[in-house]
Amino acid sequence: MLTQFLYSFVTLFVIIDPVGSAVIFAGLTRGTPAKLRRPAAIRGVLVAVALILAFALGGDQLLRALGITLPAFRIAGGILLFLLATEMVFARQSGIRGPTASEEKEAEQRRDVAVFPLAFPLLAGPGALTSIVLLMERAAAPLAALGIMAALAVVMAITLALLLAAPQVMRLIGITGANVMSRVLGIILAALAAQLVLDGILEALASRG
């Protein structure tokens, strides 16, 4: 369980990127009173957790219904996460990791950013949803699945704490600091993505043999 917890924690922490999410949230809620910003952060995290749990519990059934094999999903998920890692290393944003420029502009005109773009796609984006399905697929025992859920709880608790302290985080590290951390996490994510693709290819070859 401990091994699964650590692996899941690193994976989810890298993909959700609580520090980077806090910086973006600070920009989206600039000028918003704390009494409105705090409930938005809480709702956003709760909605994101609900989305991720829905994919964690129902992802396998969805794949079966669509006729998608697990090796194919591993390969596709690895490629998606590698693209995400590339964005993180080069500090770019195209919509895989968070809202696009047009989505951010739309969000700035909204009073409540809790569901969009905070919960989705910032916290529970394609990368996080794909990763939780792959992590749950690897859980061979109930204790392993419990480790994944515990890792998700810890990551989202850290995320909520940083969202609530978003203005302070922004003043402390700024955009440059967030980009530096994002680049380091992106390298780790690239290695995890490559391993997923390799695992998928080996499993597909083994099933054919």
CB burial readout 140-165, b (16+ within 10 A) else e: eeeebbebbbbbbeebbebbbebbbe
Whether the predicted pLDDT of 147 surpasses 90: yes
The tens digit of pLDDT for each residue in 93-116 reads 665 555 666 666 665 555 578 998
CA distance 146 to 154: 12
Nearest CA to 165 out of 25, 12, 13 is that of 25
Whether the predicted pLDDT of 81 surpasses 70: yes
Identity of the amino acid at 141: A
Give the pLDDT score at 187: 92
- Name the pTM for this structure: 0.84
Identity of the amino acid at 128: A
Mean pLDDT of the region 66-91: 90
Residue scoring higher pLDDT (90 or 133):
133
What are the domain boundaries of the chain?
Answer: 2-208
Give the pLDDT score at 46: 98
Q: What is the mean pLDDT of the chain?
A: 89
The tens digit of pLDDT for each residue in 152-186 reads 999 999 999 999 999 999 889 888 888 888 898 99
Nearest CA to 87 out of 134, 125, 129 is that of 125
Identity of the amino acid at 9: F
- Total residue length of the chain: 209
The tens digit of pLDDT for each residue in 27-56 reads 888 888 888 999 999 999 999 999 999 999
Helix (H) or strand (E) run with residue 7 in it: helix 2-16
pLDDT classification of 8: cutoffs 50, 70, 90: very high
CA distance 98 to 121: 5
Residue 186 three-state SS: helix
Share of the chain above pLDDT 70, in %: 90
Assess contact for 80 and 126: CB atoms under 8 A.
yes
